[in-house]
Amino acid sequence: MTPANVTVNPNKTSLLAQYTVAFNVGAGGALTAGSTIAIAFPSGTTLGSAVSGTPGNTTVEGTAASSVSVSGQEVTVTVPSGVSVSNNGSVSVVFANAANMIANPSTAGTSYQTTVKTSVEPSAVNSNTYSIFETSTVTQATVTPNPTSSGNLSQYTIAFDVGDNGALALGSDSIVITFPSGTTLGSAVQNTPGNTTINGTPATSVSVSGLQVTITTPVAIENNGSVSVVFANAPDMITNPTTAGSNKTVAVSTSQEPTSISSDTYTITSSGTFVTTANVSVDPDTVSRTASYTIQFYVGANGALLAGDQITVAFPEATTVPGSIGTGSIQVNTVVCTAAPQISGDTVTLYTPRSIDVNGEVSVVFLPDAGIVNPSVAAEGYTLDVSTNIEPSAITSNSYSIYNEDGSLPVELAYFAACGERGGIALRWRTESETNNLRWVLERSTEPEGPYEVIACPRGQGSTPQPTDYLFQDRDVKPDQVYFYRLADQDFDGTLTYHEIVSASAVFPKAYRLRQNYPNPFNPATTIEYDLPRAGSVLLEIYNMAGQKVRTLVDKRQEAAFYSVLWDSRDEAGREVGSGVYIYHLVVRDSDGGGGFRAVKRMVMVR
């Protein structure tokens, strides 16, 4: 038979893992039901009681085994009924990742092997080698709920880094987040996975068990990579605890780093409740037309309305609101409003014809005979504000679009997103088409209401029917600061059309860290990375095993950030060094006198 290929997932020390052992039998090695396959695992591998006690956890060519026995480190699997392997045929034995099955060795290594034999070919054959890596953990996450008010639906942004051996594969690995007691996980968390994004990419699979959310990764994450998980503020998503407090935490782990790490604390305030962000639909949605407006939202945990209470809708300035609206032209939850509304400029205050329970859904419909006229300029990014007399803080709606008569937009924006990353914020947007688009104006503020300053003006595509992707990376950011971004397209006449506002925080180190160089072993160059949670004087030096200094790579003051330094395997004089083990030594002295950091790691140069 051929040497087996062994795949271990996760391949980290001491963890329960799925083992897949795949090989080809020889020219006379055909297997039939009742034949046996014996696999001997290396010393240090733990074979739990379920390996033999629950044979269905093991499959041969996808069929559950009916008999599995264990003797020392050797597992013997009987080929189940219905499975046959022809001469020279391939066979795959899979041991499931399940309780009391197979646990990886506690010692990392790159030369682990199994041996495989069958009842037909009884000479044991060594497998190809496989690696077991040290188990790492995710970093402590930062959690940003928005809004922070108790009992309200909220957007949650959870940012962290995976560890040295924490890389996540697209579609097969997962991120697990456990929310604190009192948090309500609505049905849409699981049923509408696209409401959750990882590094800006919508999830395709999300499951919920109690307060635990498991997200299948829709993107690949590298070792030490930054992760930003965003749960949208949408109906039936996540509701803040009803009890205020400053000590809330979530726990974060992954399928590759299963140790749960508690986040930094975050605060839930008790400053009242708010209506949720409204969804707006307009019919017809073309310029300068009298239209019907449907505005849907939820009142908050303390936002119950009685008949006669007020709902206030502030339309955008470009919308024409008549000086008076007759009774019978507005409905709330399909019931006609019989009291005439109050109108002030673009703002309409109506009186609810029926009561609405706490957290209740509200649908306000302005019928066409209300006389609301759409803006005369086609654009995306129109919004309106909604509040009630019980929850008077106005909440801005999701954006909606008004089109030209031919259905076109000057710029058809597919999305605009901000995502915190290592030491900065990535802003991505995509257009489906552009018409007379001279340039973009990207503005930033530290408050949602402004003031905003221009930070970039990327060139537009003029007129094109083709999709275009844009990326801007904002590196001029500070730790623990939320930034708000506003995007506008500017046509050749100078007209600016603003789109939705997005927000994000950059990901900065939470602790000092000296990372393992990569590649290792290396020739001729390797990269050394380290993390500074605050500013300080940094000294990074290379030594040989005799304790002699070979090279100083860094000797200066640096700000809090993630850093990467390349060593080209040359000494201070520019000469190439020889093969061998080298030490790299990091010393940091805090600028604020808060202490320092010192760490040493080894690396191997091979000529």
Q: Specify whether 470 is located in the same domain as 560.
A: no
Evaluate if residue 594 carries a pLDDT over 70.
no
Find the helix or strand (DSSP H, E) in which 341 lies. Answer: none
What is the number of structural domains in the chain? 5
| Helical residues (DSSP H) of 340-426, grouped into ranges | none
Which three-class secondary structure string do you get for 59-72?
EECCEECCCEEEEC
Q: Is residue 161 part of a domain?
A: yes
Please give the structure tokens belonging to residue 325: 């609206």
17 confidence band (pLDDT: 50, 70, 90): very high
Structure tokens at 114: 């199994």
Percent of the chain at pLDDT above 90? 75
Q: What is the CATH number of the domain that holds 201?
A: 2.60.40.290
Count of other CB atoms within 10 angstroms of residue 425: 25
Longest dimension (CA), the chain: 93
pLDDT score for 352: 96
What pLDDT was estimated at residue 374?
Answer: 96
User: Is residue 274 situated within a structural domain?
Assistant: no
Claim to verify: residue 500 and residue 520 sit in the same structural domain = no
**Nearest to 53, CA basis, from 75, 30, 31, 22:** 75
* Distance separating alpha carbons of residues 193 and 202, to the nearest angstrom: 7
Position 270 pLDDT exceeds 70? no
The tokens of 502 are what? Answer: 């997005």
Q: Where among 505, 536, 557 does a domain terminate?
A: 505
Shared domain for 59 and 26, answered yes or no, is yes
- 405 part of a folded domain: no
Q: Assess whether 191 and 167 both reside in one domain.
A: yes
- What pLDDT is stored for residue 103 in this prediction? 96
What pLDDT was estimated at residue 411? 82
**pLDDT score of 304:** 87
Residues 152 and 204 in one domain: yes
CB within 8 Å of 459: residues ≥ 6 apart: 438, 439, 440
- In DSSP terms, which residues pair with 208 in a beta bridge? 213
Clarify whether residues 501 and 517 are in a common domain.
no
Distance CA 404, CA 579 (A): 69
527 and 429 housed in the same domain: no
| Strand ranges of the sheet holding 596-605, from the earlier edge strand across to the other edge | 549-558, 536-544, 580-590, 596-605
Residue 271 has pLDDT above 60, yes or no: no
The confidence score (pLDDT) of residue 146 equals 84
Residue with tokens 């029917």: 465
Q: Tell me what pLDDT residue 433 has.
A: 85
Low-confidence winner among 147-156, 220-229, 384-393, 543-552 (lowest mean pLDDT): 147-156
CA distances from 69 to 39, 53, 80 (A): 11, 8, 14
Asked whether residue 381 is assigned to any structural domain, the reply reads no
Looking at the structure, tell me whether residues 128 and 146 fall in a common domain.
no
Give the CATH number for residue 600: 2.60.40.4070
Residue 78, pLDDT score:
97
44 and 114 co-located in one domain: yes
Residue 527 lies in a domain: yes
- Mean pLDDT value across the chain: 92
Residues 523 and 571 in one domain: yes
Instruction: Please give the residue that has the higher pLDDT: either 276 or 47.
Output: 47
Please spell the DSSP secondary structure of 245-303, one letter per residue.
Answer: EEEE--EEEESSS-S-EEPPPEEEB-S---PPPPEEEEES-BTT-B-EEEEEEE--TT-
Choose one of 365, 400, 435: the last residue of a domain.
400
**Contact, 303 vs 390, CB < 8 A?**
yes
Closest CA to 24 of 127, 106, 158: 127
How high is the pLDDT of residue 380? 76
Identify whether residues 9 and 128 lie together within a single domain: yes
Q: Are 31 and 61 in contact (CB under 8 A)?
A: no
What is the distance between the alpha carbons of residues 290 and 368, in angstroms, rounded to a whole number? 6
Q: What's 87's domain CATH number?
A: 2.60.40
Last residue of a domain, one of 505, 537, 552: 505
pLDDT digits (tens, 9 = 90+) for 472-515: 999 999 888 999 999 999 988 888 888 989 999 988 888 899 99
Is the pTM of the predicted complex or chain greater than 0.75? Answer: no
Same domain, 117 and 10: yes
Band (pLDDT 50/70/90 cuts) for residue 134 is confident
Question: Is residue 273 in some structural domain?
Answer: no
* Dist CA 316 CA 310 (whole Å): 20
Residue 365 tokens read as: 């419909």
With respect to residue 137, please indicate whether it lies within any of the assigned structural domains: no
Q: Provide the β-strand partners of residue 361.
A: 298
Least confident range from 66-75, 208-217, 271-280: namely 271-280
How confident is the model over 377-394, as a mean pLDDT?
Answer: 86
Q: Is residue 490 part of a domain?
A: yes
Q: What is the CATH number of the domain that holds 447?
A: 2.60.40.10
pLDDT given for residue 584 in this prediction: 96
Q: State which residues form the domain around 110.
A: 5-132
Q: Tokens for 460, please give them.
A: 């537009």
- Per-residue pLDDT of 422-467, as tens digits, reads 889 999 999 988 888 899 999 999 998 889 999 999 999 988 878 8
Instruction: Please write the tens of the pLDDT for every residue from 390-421.
Output: 888 889 999 898 888 876 667 888 899 999 88
Count how many Cα atoms sit within 13 Å of the Cα of residue 322 in the half-sphere of its side chain: 15
145-159: average pLDDT: 87
Closest among 180, 184, 188, 263 to 227, alpha carbons compared: 263
Least confident of 92-106, 253-267, 489-503, 559-573: 489-503
Q: Which pLDDT score, from 0 to 100, does residue 238 have?
A: 95
In this predicted model, what pLDDT tens digit does every residue of 193-207 receive, in sequence order?
999 999 999 999 999
Of the listed ranges 49-63, 322-336, 404-418, the one predicted with least confidence: 404-418
Residue range 59-83: average pLDDT?
Answer: 96
Task: Compute the average pLDDT of residues 228-255.
Answer: 91
